[in-house]
A and B are shown apart, each in its own frame.
Chain A
Amino acid sequence: MPSLKPARLLTRSARDYHVAVVGSGPAGFYTSKYLFKKAGDTLKIDMFERLPTPFGLVRFGVAPDHPEVKNVINDFGVIARMPSFRYFGNIEVGSQPSLEDLRKLYDAVVLCTGASGERLLGIAGEESFGVVGAPAFVKWYNGHPDYQDLKLPSTVHGESAVVLGQGNVALDVARLLVRPPRDLDATDMERAAVNTIASWQKSGLRTVHIVGRRGFVQAAFTNAELRELLTCSDEVLPVVDPEELALCRNEASEEELSKSRMKKRSVDILDKTMAANFAEMGSTSKRILRVHFLRSPQEVLSEDGGVRGIRLGRMKLQGEPGRQVAAPTEEAALEISCGLVVRSVGFDITPFNGLPLKSNRVPHTQGCVETSSDGLGGLYVSGWLKRGPQGIIASNIGDAQETAARLWNDLQHQSAKPPRSSPDSFVSSLPRPVSFEDWKKLEAEEHRSGHEMGKAAAKFTRGCCEGVIFKAQTEGCCQGRIYTRAAQSCCGGRSLYDSETHGCCLENGAQVYRYGSYNCCRRPKGICRIRPGKATCCS
């Protein structure tokens, strides 16, 4: 006999709704916030996060010496503590449960899983040891459990490191490489990373180059971060070649400059101080931050597979104001001897099991991927997964408002449909989820143990594998099995394999293949068997 619900005469909606949000970064929390604003009491939200800890890039992307930027987690904490909101950490949507499982149980599912891949340069030598992507490097020093075993050189050849790219992430990386380690250790930066940077500096790391292929008017950094290069430490001297600055001021750039308040304000920082510092570069004992413009990497130079230098071509600006591109010139290239190259040219969307992807973006309309069909809850996206991997925390506000409005509107148009059965029994069968209260205990412990060490916090970098804690530095979790990273790897998050003898091919799903007998190809996509007498089976 169906239970009789009391007639709801005075509420706006005919029924209650239950929405699943996947991902606990700014996109997930802002979308939840604005959904609650629209829906009030008629909405319940369950949030799922792959890691035990919430907040995504607020926790793992923001520079450790920018703690105020992370204050937004207090706002997120308010959402998390609402009675109609539940947080389930340590649950990987996509493997267990699947996206379809969720869509069967919830009126709508919003994916806010961001972008964990990275863009490559496509230059020779890029695969050399000592070349790393900023997404991985930042997560390494920020204590992300998946990146604690990032392999880095023990000393930095040539006493120099090169950061490719000129967004704020590039400036963060450069600044953290030259700041005094005692300053870094007082933050919540992973101590092992602080020690690595300290030993690099001790063994001679003196100069960090920040290289951009266009001019300063086109560069993506913003003034607060640019100014911070000047103020971050007495031990650091930021410089820029005044002649190179002049090269940046072609006619089209002057026009762009005249229209941009931000860029006009940047001229003083570059011209007055950093250009003036250039003369001291040869005689100073400080660590140097050198910003290069109109330089583009042509090749990473290596020896025995390890990076020894980088060749940077001279570029010129070409095109209409607002659309100028960097074009190569015949001028002599600049070779910088270096032992670490950090590629900071952007994140990339990683495919999500069950999600359509078209030219690296999820096709959507106002955040809607698919409205309810075949009895499945509607599918929505928010954040980087929706807009592309660009923007700051606040960029998610308008975006989340759009998705929330669209989602809520769609649900109202389906209010005639009978409510689903509650997802509560599914949720109570989840394997050892981490609740928000659990997280608050973890957070308190991170602060407590951090303070004992003289740090703002010591992050919990161990992972949780089917309820068992493992050391992320040396171990991994592959579909519930803990493995030792030195000997094995986990392909596509599900297949354990011996990394000495086998590889993992991600071109066509996740396939394990034996070296020597098989290849992993772009064309044909996936693995193929090498024919006898042939060197490769890729075309």
Chain B
Amino acid sequence: MLRRLAPGIARTWAPSTGFSRPGLAGVQFLARWHRSVADENAEKISFHFKQRDGSRKTVTVPSGTTVLEAAHLNQVDLEGACEASLACSTCHVILTADDYKKYGEPTEKEEDLLDLAPCLTPTSRLACQVVVDERLKDQEVSLPAMTLNFYVDGHVPTPH
């Protein structure tokens, strides 16, 4: 359940549910229920993730959810190691030039962390800091191609 927190709490955290669901093809990496400032009755916003393999995934979340939460709720492969506390760069995403402008400059703290994100672009943001609302309606958010160690997801290594 997404509940309203007192205003001013920038930090969100995720009590984990924990269990995989046996019998499903592949393990479902838990829908992480983050608490955020989203209201259950808020307008539902649809936008699209462009995933690393090029495929597009449309997600619909209440306005006020962060892009990171939206990813986790919809099994989009985006790490959030520090659980949205601005202590890592694993939720790095790339916005369109227009959306980047709409959302304005990131804080200095976020910029310090973006310094460390591989494949950084001029329109990069940390997904935990981007709140889904009207501005993102029907827009595209891309996952960067490479992870910190330049290992491309989906790559099948050849044994020898």
Contact = CB atoms under 8 A, between A and B. Distances in A.
A66 B87 contact: yes
A461 to B, nearest CB: 25
Contact of B151 (A222, A265, A399): A399
A398 B151 CA distance: 5
Interface residues of B, number: 46
Contacts of B86: 68
A262 B115 contact: yes
Most B C-beta atoms less than 10 A away, residue of A33, A69, A223 = A223
A71 interface: yes
Contacts of A387: 149
Contacts of A409: 156-157, 159
B159 A223 contact: no
Contact of B159 (A40, A74, A81, A406): A406
A325 to B, nearest CB: 24
A391 B151 CA distance: 15
Contacts of A84: 20
A223 B147 CA distance: 20
Interface stretch (B22-30, B55-63, B98-106, B130-138): B22-30
A397 interface: yes
B42 interface: no
B112 A74 contact: no
Contact of B109 (A41, A224, A262, A395): A224
A37 B29 contact: yes
Contacts of B88: 69, 72, 392-394
Most A C-beta atoms less than 10 A away, residue of B22, B27, B30 = B27
Contact of A71 (B30, B82, B108, B156): B82
B148 A394 contact: yes
Interface string B59-93: 00000000000000000000111110111111000
Contact of A223 (B85, B112, B148, B157): B112
Interface string A83-105: 11000000000000000000000
A365 B157 CA distance: 10
Nearest to B85: A68
B26 A398 contact: no
Interface string A357-371: 000000001101001
Given A40-B26, A262-B115, A402 B149 contact: yes
A82 interface: yes
Contacts of B109: 224
A405 interface: yes
A394 B22 contact: no
A78 B156 contact: no
A365 B160 contact: yes
B87 A71 contact: yes
B14 interface: yes
A77 interface: yes
Contacts of B151: 398-399, 401-402
A202 interface: no
Interface string A186-226: 00000000000000000000000000000000000011100
B155 A394 contact: no
- Chain A, interface SS category: helix
B150 A398 contact: yes
Most A C-beta atoms less than 10 A away, residue of B81, B82, B111 = B81
B159 A83 contact: no
Contacts of A41: 22-23, 27
Contact of A399 (B11, B27, B149): B149
A-side interface size class? 35 or more
A261 B80 CA distance: 23
Interface in A244-275: 261-262, 265
A108 B89 CA distance: 31
Nearest to A406: B157
Contacts of B82: 68-69, 71-72
Nearest to B80: A75
A410 interface: yes
B159 A71 contact: no
Interface string B19-55: 1101111110110000000000000000000000000
Contacts of A37: 26-27, 29
B90 A394 contact: yes
B15 to A, nearest CB: 8
A129 interface: no
A68 B81 CA distance: 10
A514 interface: no
A227 interface: yes
Nearest to A365: B160
A395 B149 contact: yes
A121 B29 CA distance: 45
B115 A413 contact: no
Interface of B: 11, 13-14, 16, 18-20, 22-27, 29-30, 79-83, 85-90, 108-109, 111-113, 115-116, 120, 146-151, 153, 155-157, 159-160
26 contacts: A40-B27, A68-B83, A71-B82, A74-B16, A75-B80, A75-B81, A77-B16, A78-B30, A81-B18, A82-B20, A82-B27, A83-B20, A83-B22, A222-B116, A223-B111, A224-B112, A261-B115, A392-B116, A393-B88, A394-B88, A394-B89, A397-B81, A397-B90, A398-B146, A398-B149, A402-B157
Nearest first, the 6 A-B pairs at minimum CB distance are: A398-B149, A398-B147, A68-B85, A398-B151, A68-B87, A262-B115
